[in-house]
Amino acid sequence: MPAVQLDEITFENPFVEELRGEASGTSGSRQVPGYCYSRVAPTPVREPRLLAWSEELAEYLGLEKPAERGAAVAILAGNILTPSMKPFAARYGGHQFGNWAGQLGDGRAISLGQVPALDGSRWEIQLKGAGPTPYSRRADGRAVLRSSVREFLCSEAMHYLGVPTTRALSLVSTGDEVMRDIFYNGNAAPEPGAIVARVAPTFIRFGSFQLLAAHAEVDNLRALADYTIRHHYPELGAPSEEVYVRWFEEIARRTAVMVAHWMTVGFVHGVMNTDNMSVLGLTIDYGPYGWLEPYDPEWTPNTTDFGSRRYAFGQQPRVALWNLMALAQALVPLVADAQALRPALTVYADTLAASQHELLLAKLGLTPHNPAPDRALTEALPAALAGPAVDMTIFLRQLSRLVPALLAPGTNEAEVFSELLAKAAYLPAPGPDQGLLDWLARYAQRLRQEAGSPEAIQLGMLRANPKYVLRNYLAQQAIEAAEAGDLTPLETLFRVLKTPFDEHPEHEALAARRPDWASNKPVSATLSCSS
C-alpha cells in the first residue's frame, strides 16, 4: 500500500461521536461540567516549518514524509483542518503532587482524530502546543521549541528502548515567539514556539475518570469506561461489572510493566500526577524527565519537586500504586462491591516485582536458574549501585563488555571490577565501595553457572543494555543548536537514539558520563515544570 500525505487521510472520530461533548467550539477558559471533551480548533501559527519527522512511525501509519513547508505541515501546525477531522480537547482532572486539582484537561493539546495504521490498528494524532482550549486556565496553549524538542526526542527514544510509551510523529516550528518564565523567578522572556504531533491509541488518563467521579457524573463515567473497554480492551468482552474489575486489573498490570521498565533503564518521569498516567500503561507527558546519572534513588529532575521529592526515581513504584488507588476510587460507582477492585493492587505489586526481576536478569546475562538466590541478587543491585556515584547505564553496558573477561579461566576479578568502576563512576572514591564489590563477586559466581558461551551471553547483554540514553545535557545541546538554526545535533542525536544498543563508534561522545559543567548548568541536569 503506497504511503500518502497527511492531508489525504480520512480521519475517524469515535471519541467525539460516542461520548458526550461540548460542541460550542470556543476556546475561552472555563469549567466544563457534564462533558468528556470540548470541540475546539487549533489556533493558526505564522510560519510552520517541519524540523523533525519520525520516518519509522510514519511508515507504520502509511504516511509519506512531507516537504519542509506545505499542506501536510500546515495540518501538523494546526493551520489546516481537513473535512474528516473533528478536533477536540479532552476534559480531565487529577491529583498534582498529591493534592486534588479539580478540572485540568488538555490546556494546550488538541486531538485531530484517529488514523489507521497498516496493521489496521487506530492511532490518535494530537497536536501539543496548538493554542488555547477551554482547559488552558491562564495559559496561552502554546509550547516552546525547548520543551517540544525534549518531548519529540524522548517519546521516540523510549520506544526504541522498548519502554511502553506514546509516540511522536513530527516537530514543527511555528515562526511565533512564546513568553515563558523558565525559572519561575519573574523574568519571562520570548522563546521560539513549536508543536509536536503526538501519537497513541488514546490519550485517556486516570484523571479522565477521576473528574467524572468527583462531579458525580456517573453516566459519563460509565460511558467513558465502556468506550475505553470497547476500543482499547476488547479482549475483555462486553462492558459489565465483572469486566470493569478485570479491566482495572489489566490497567494495574500494564502500569506495573511500564514502571518496571523505567526502573531498569534509569528513567525518572518527574511529574507522576494522576493526570499524567495513561489508562493504557504508556509513558505519557514528557516534562521535566531525566535519566539517572550518579545512581541516587532520591534524585528527581523536577526542581518543583525538590522540597518533597515525591516523584524521585526510587519513589516511582510507590507513586504508581498510589495513583492506581486513586483510579480505583474513581471507578467505585461502577461496581457494587468496592473491595472487588482491591486484588488488582496485588497484581500491580506482583507484576512489578516479576517484571523488574525478569528485565534485570536479561541485563545481567542470566537465565532463570534458582529463583530465590536469583531474586536476591537482582533485588540487591539497586542498593549496591546507590553506594558509589555510579552511572547505571554505563555500568551495565561496561559489565556487558567485561563478561568474557570475567568468565575466562584465571581471571583477576579485582582488576576487572576496577576497570568497570573506572569507566562507570562519576567521582573518585577514597577506596572501592565494598557493597558494590561484594555484589559483583556474587554476580561473577552466579554468571559462571550459565550454560551459554561467553560470547553468546555478552551479545544478549549488549542487546539488553543500551549504550545511549537521552541525557538532559544532550537534549539541551540539541535545543540550543536548533534555537540557533542548526538542526544537525538534533538530527544526529535522534538517529543514534533510534538504535541505542548499537555501538556507533563515531558518536562515542554521546555515551559519555555527564560532564562536570552540565551538573550545575540550568536545564542540563534538572528542569522546572515550565514548558
Residues with a known catalytic role:
275
CB proximity list for 36: less than 8 A, separation 6 or greater: 15, 19, 20, 21, 90, 91, 208, 212, 220, 223, 224
Task: Please answer whether residues 195 and 110 qualify as being in contact, where contact means their C-beta atoms are separated by less than 8 angstroms.
Answer: no
Backbone angles phi, psi at 525, to 5 degrees: -135, -50
Q: What is the dihedral of CA 186, 190, 195, 200, to 10 degrees?
A: -20
3-state secondary structure 259-297: HHHHHHHCEECCCCCHHHCECCCCECCCCCCEECCECCC
d(CA 26, CA 28): 6
A 10 A CB-CB count for 365 gives 26
What's at 506, amino acid-wise?
E
d(CA 368, CA 180): 51
A 10 A CB-CB count for 67 gives 10
Checking 217-225 for CB contacts under 8 A at 24+ apart, the result is 217/33, 217/34, 218/333, 218/334, 220/19, 220/20, 220/34, 220/35, 220/36, 221/330, 221/331, 221/333, 221/334, 222/333, 222/334, 223/18, 223/19, 223/20, 223/36, 224/19, 224/36, 225/331, 225/334
Task: Please answer whether residues 285 and 108 qualify as being in contact, where contact means their C-beta atoms are separated by less than 8 angstroms.
Answer: no
d(CA 473, CA 521): 9
d(CA 320, CA 315): 9
Place of cell 545512581: 295
Nearest residue to 169 (alpha-carbon basis) of 139, 202, 124, 136: 124
d(CA 369, CA 451): 10
